[in-house]
Structure formats: structure tokens, C-alpha cells
Amino acid sequence: MVGPLALRRAEKYGFCAGVRIADRTVRKLASEGRRGKILGQLVHNERVVSDLVQLGFATAASLEEVRAGTIVFSAHGVPPSFHRRALERGLLVVDTTCPFVYDVHEEARQALEAGFHAVFIGDSAHREVIGYTRDLDPGDYDIVQTTADVDRIDFGRHPKVKIFYQTTLNSEEYEDVALAVEGAAAHAERADTICYATKENQDAARDLAADPEVDCIVVVGGRHSANTRHLWEICRAAQPRSYLVHGTDDLRADWFADCGGVGITAGASTPDSMIEEVEGAIRSLAASPAPASGPLAAPEAAL
């Protein structure tokens, strides 16, 4: 270390309002003695998933797995037809879908009714994107992640196009994809579908990475959390010594051996308790004697 360690958290980080409400909703159900299943992970964080299993709310991979009782729809949302199917199966539905996700569902519906072809920028395997598209006619939409994906679309068949983003994406990272759609389509409009919490977390991560007093950054979050990984990518672009960790076990003392300032941020699926634990562990590691030898780990080492 070079002098006393200074830890700085990003201005915005951790649980967004939608995730916090979803988590509290299920924990309240458990405190009332209710038990059930959650369709997919409530949030992409292994700690939260494990906690909820202990409380009686395990994860179900499909609706068909839930034969009775309560089914919880996660903050990522589900295809609208899942509500009908769940009720037909006699299940009690607890819907924790994020309001911003519902906004995308509604805006996409209105766009299709107005004759637009929908283009979703995002991961076709992500449950949020599946929720938007599963009930749609395949001819009414496309899902793209790269400009090469855009090149494969025959925009001559679509007089009007509406562009939607997966809410957890770093929109700036996909600006070239959106521009490619706009360049290929006769008429294209963008929907405002990046949630404010995602944008605030990302802007705060950029500020943290640009701070000259921050020598390295630790990003805390689930191993399968898209928004957490995007935060890490943002930090790494400005501060190469940026590390993505799920918890204290992923930390390494040599990361902090010559750090005067450590920045901390966390994905929207990261509970406050994990952030506190990681911060405490960093202080302990920084106070420990530096390792005798060994190269500094690459940022990917904690993945």
C-alpha cells in the first residue's frame, strides 16, 4: 500500500427500486408463512437466489414445473401469455415485474399496432427479451446485438421501424447498432427504454473510473448479471485495474498492494449486505502484508 487506503463508493450503485421491491415482496411472503416457486431467478445474484431457496421460494425453470400454489414472476418480466397460463393452472400469481419492463411491453404493443416493425437490441436468450418477444409473430420483430445482425435484416419489407433496448444494456456501447438500423431503414424511431437506475449506475461508474484518486475498482454482482458485467466493462475502459467479483472469496490482496484509493460499485441485483462485506474485506486485505511475489491478476481473473 501507498499510505492509508481510501475507499470510495460510486454515487449510484446496487439494488435498483424494481429489484428491491421484488426482493422485499418475496421475503414478506415468506415471513407470512407462504411458500412457492419463482419462475427463473428473481434477480441475477446467486446470494439472493440461495437466500430465497432457504425461505421456501426455489427457482423453477419453466411454468410447467409449478403444479400448485404460488408462482412469482421476476423483475425481468414474462410474456403476457404466462399470466393466462398460470391462472389456467390454478396458480396464485405474484408479479414483481419492474415497471420499466412493463413500459417496454406497452410501448412495443403500441408500436406494432401503429404498423412499426420492432427491433430489439439485446440478448435473445435474456429473460427480459424473451418476455418481450415470445408472444409476438416472428415476422413482427428482430433481435440484434451487432451490426452484422442488422445487415441480415431486409428493411425493404418494413416501412417503419421502432428500436428498443434491453433495459440493462449500456446504450452507448450499442450506439453503432442503433445507427446501423437507422441507416438501413427508411424510417426509424428509438424508444426510450433504458431505465433511469441503469443509466445512473453507469454514469456513476464512469465518474468513479475517471477519478484520478481511484487506483483500482471493484465491481460487485452476480456472475450472470448482465448489468453488473456492463458496469465492469465501463470501469475497465477507463481504469484497467477493474475487477468483477461476486463476493469476498473472489478478492485478492495483491490487487490492493499499491493502491491508495479503491472505488466500489455494484450491479442492480447486488444486495447491500454483499457490498458491505466486500468493502470490509478490502480493508482487511489492504491492511495485510503484501504477497511476496506473483504477477497482478488480469481484470478477468475474478470472473
Residue position matching grid coordinates 437466500:
51
Side-chain-side CA neighbours of residue 54 (13 Å): 6
Q: Which of 166, 59, 161, 50 is nearest to 104 (CA)?
A: 166
Q: Which of 65, 128, 172, 279 is catalytic?
A: 128
Query: How many CB atoms within 10 Å of residue 266?
Result: 29
Please provide the size of the chain in residues: 303
403476457: which residue's cell? 80
**Pair 218, 264: CB distance under 8 Å:** yes
Distance, C-alpha 19 to centroid of its chain = 10
C-alpha–C-alpha distance, residues 35 and 303, integer Å: 33
Cα(21)–Cα(249) distance, rounded to whole angstroms? 28
Residue 78 CA to residue 187 CA, distance in Å, equals 29
Residue 143: what are its φ and ψ, rounded to 5°? Answer: -115, 130
C-alpha 267/C-alpha 44 separation (Å) is: 10
Instruction: Measure the CA–CA gap between 298 and 86, rounded to whole angstroms.
Output: 46
107 as an active site residue: the answer is no
- Contact status, residue 40 vs residue 74, Cβ threshold 8 Å: yes
CA distances from 147 to 121, 172, 194, 226, 243 (A): 10, 14, 20, 20, 29
Catalytic residue IDs: 128
